[in-house]
Structure 1
Amino acid sequence: MACAAISVGFTIPQLLRGTSRIFPTHSALVVLRHSAFCHCTVNGTTKSKRKMDHLERTANNFRQEMISQAKVCGITNESETVKRLRLAITNKDFTFKAGQWVDFFIPGVSVVGGFSICSSPGLLERDGILELAVKRAVHPPAHWIHTECTLDSEVALRVGGDFFFDPQPGDPPVKLVLIAGGVGINPLFSILLHVADLHEYQESKGYGYKMGTVKLYYSAKNTNELLFKKNILGLMNAFPGKITCHFHVTQQSSQICKEFQPYVTEGRISEEDLEKHVSKYTLWYICGPPPMIESISKLLANIGVPRDCVFFEKWW
């Protein structure tokens, strides 16, 4: 997730000293936590032509009170247009749930960014590391990441969001269908990695949450824009039958390499793809551009999926 953000007119030290001027108080936030499987639906339309910025879009979302310093400890090119950042988190009490996002504060940049976390909570617990994958854009925080960010750059982060998957040991087993479009894969990849951690923990300890199967449908223009594809195939190989995926490409002009051919379909995700997964034990998570979310939501309604089993988040 990356979206336009508001210019608040503060440098980072001022932001850290005066967050009460920028964010609603904790008691004023709308916290949708009726279960461990929560969702956020953000209105994708507005009466004015001005696009809503990150802070406006998320004003009613849950936000942690903690803002933590972080240092960039890794930068890689996930694709021609997306950079993947590894961030070492300073505060040991910093936590997040798979699927959530961060407010992203940059020294010297008065615009607050908003980016979905693409790593698992387990990586943070084990190594103190959080990862973001950010697409190139004129949006100031994204532009800074692509043009000025270097190893050891310092930023600050604050976790927020009501779209997450966080089952507890006593919760009933569920199956997941994750449906991603473009860079909307970020929070769903975090959920997929968290599922892998749940499987590993349950297999090694013999207890903990017993996860059902997960199917990922991921659509992009072409295979070059499918983020994390090698990681996703690695998870499939590590958890055969438990984690499966299918990639969809809508504007592929080059030949698909043999490694990915068995998993790639040319064309959009269809009703036929999804109806085979309908059951009372299945939860559906969607993240992508609003038109895709609206289309998939209508498709799921047509095949009889209850609305309270469909979770999604709109950012664009």
Structure 2
Amino acid sequence: MVEMSVHCVVTSAGRSFSSSYPAAGLLRLLLPAPCSITRRNMSSKRQMDHLERTATNQRQSAVYPAQVCGIMNESESVKRLRLTAHPDFNFKAGQWVDFFIPGVDKVGGFSMCSSPGLLQREGVVELAVKFANHPPAHWVHTACTLGSQVAVRVGGDFYFDPSPSDPAVDLLLIAGGVGINPLYSILSHTADLLQVNRASGGRGYNIGSVHLRYSAKTTEELLFKNPILRACREFPDKLTCQFHVTQQSTDIEPHLQPFVNRRRIAEEELRTHVDPQRTLCYLCGPPPMIEAISQTLVNLGLPQDRILFEKWW
């Protein structure tokens, strides 16, 4: 994985777009016709676009301008974008954005991989986008530059947003490939809430345990693995993780070896993290993986309404 430090070229003081950002004109240019988010009967030969797939999901009404202030290579095939957000922009951990690009007809749909806490602290939001020929993803990898102007609208029913008065739940997060994005947002949000509890002397949120199981082809494709491990080391009594690789042909780095299994996620590895009364599972990955693991969790006694998943592709 290639990593580099990212510094925003737009300062927090410049977060008001009224003078430097033609926001109204940009949004008129980017917004699709109203009919474009209605669901239509689709040919089985054509994959549905993001707006068609998510037509029945909740989404905010407001579309906000945003500006690219950082770009980094998260892996050979994934770029992470850092966006300066409008002051009124807000989201819940796990949600996605409709991503509008000037000159690109198709609207992208990308899960946020950062936490709401990062937005509050720095005024930025992050997206990790895998290379694809689909126009929005292709633009991110081939044409996006520092200072590029886009627009975003928040949506999604897949999120973790506890209140301080809520009872504690144990989270089981299961990710496949780039399905880690919303789950990393949830994990980071949980770590932020644990920081709040620490600062308040334990008077804050009721946070149970959080266990992440994350599968990819190789360790190079395990996104965010180092910050995930740092979070688990910071809160070892609350956060734990295990990685799975299915096509690794090279040696695994020594510091990762204790956390990596060379196999798919199996039932026996989930059993100890399933309590039908306390566990809430968030699952995001390819459809076959979601279907198989959902059935495994049901077999282990976890009620269907405690298994939440994101399945777009």
**Which range, TM-score by smaller chain?**
0.7 to 0.9
* Residue ranges of structure 1 left out of the alignment (5+ in a row): 1-10, 30-45
Aligned counterpart for 1:233 among listed residues 229, 236, 241: 229
Aligned residue identity for 1:101? W
Q: Do the aligned residues in 2 keep the contact of 1:12 with 1:106 (CA within 8 Å)?
A: no
Corresponding position: 1:123 with 2:118 = yes
Corresponding position: 1:136 with 2:150 = no
Question: Tell me, what secondary structure is at the counterpart of 1:126?
Answer: helix
Aligned counterpart for 1:294 among listed residues 242, 266, 291: 291
Q: Do the aligned residues in 2 keep the contact of 1:198 with 1:210 (CA within 8 Å)?
A: no
Aligned counterpart for 1:199 among listed residues 194, 198, 203: 194
Q: Following the alignment from structure 2 to structure 1, what is the Cα–Cα distance between the partners of residues 31 and 250? A: 51
Q: Do the aligned residues in 1 keep the contact of 2:36 with 2:52 (CA within 8 Å)?
A: no
CA RMSD, Structure 1 to Structure 2 (Å): 1.8
Q: Do the aligned residues in 1 keep the contact of 2:248 with 2:262 (CA within 8 Å)?
A: yes
| Displaced runs of 4 or more, over 3 A | 11-24
Question: Tell me, what secondary structure is at the counterpart of 1:93?
Answer: coil
Q: Following the alignment from structure 2 to structure 1, what is the Cα–Cα distance between the partners of residues 144 and 297? A: 41
**Counterpart for residue 215 of structure 1:** 211
Q: Following the alignment from structure 1 to structure 2, what is the Cα–Cα distance between the partners of residues 20 and 50? A: 21
Question: Tell me, what secondary structure is at the counterpart of 2:191?
Answer: helix
Alignment of 1:94-173 (within 5 A): 94-173=89-168
Question: Tell me, what secondary structure is at the counterpart of 1:166?
Answer: coil
Q: Do the aligned residues in 2 keep the contact of 1:87 with 1:129 (CA within 8 Å)?
A: yes
Q: Following the alignment from structure 1 to structure 2, what is the Cα–Cα distance between the partners of residues 158 and 58? A: 13
Cα deviation, residue 230, structure 1: 0.6
Cα deviation, residue 22, structure 1: 4.1
* TM-score, L = length of structure 2: 0.88
Aligned counterpart for 1:269 among listed residues 250, 265, 284: 265
**Counterpart for residue 50 of structure 1:** 46
Q: Do the aligned residues in 2 keep the contact of 1:12 with 1:108 (CA within 8 Å)?
A: no
* TM-score, L = length of structure 1: 0.87
Task: Number of aligned residue pairs: give it.
Answer: 286
Aligned residue identity for 1:257? E
Corresponding position: 1:284 with 2:298 = no
What is the CA deviation profile of residues 95-135 of structure 1, one whole-angstrom value per residue up to 9, with x for unaligned ones?
Answer: 00000000000111111000000000011111110000000
Q: Do the aligned residues in 2 keep the contact of 1:12 with 1:109 (CA within 8 Å)?
A: no
Mean Cα deviation higher: 198-207 or 216-225 = 198-207
Q: Following the alignment from structure 2 to structure 1, what is the Cα–Cα distance between the partners of residues 26 and 304? A: 41
Aligned residue identity for 2:308? F
Cα deviation, residue 303, structure 1: 1.0
**Counterpart for residue 250 of structure 2:** 254
Q: Following the alignment from structure 1 to structure 2, what is the Cα–Cα distance between the partners of residues 13 and 307? A: 40
Q: Following the alignment from structure 2 to structure 1, what is the Cα–Cα distance between the partners of residues 280 and 189? A: 15
Q: Following the alignment from structure 2 to structure 1, what is the Cα–Cα distance between the partners of residues 286 and 31? A: 35
Question: Tell me, what secondary structure is at the counterpart of 1:216?
Answer: strand
Q: Following the alignment from structure 1 to structure 2, what is the Cα–Cα distance between the partners of residues 301 and 18? A: 40
Cα deviation, residue 147, structure 1: 0.6
Aligned residue identity for 1:261? Q
What is the CA deviation profile of residues 216-273 of structure 1, one whole-angstrom value per residue up to 9, with x for unaligned ones?
Answer: 0000001010000011111111111211100000000000010100000000000000
Q: Following the alignment from structure 2 to structure 1, what is the Cα–Cα distance between the partners of residues 305 and 172? A: 14
Cα deviation, residue 314, structure 1: 0.5
**Cα distance, 1:57–1:200 mapped onto 2, change above 3 Å:** same
Aligned counterpart for 1:66 among listed residues 62, 69, 91: 62
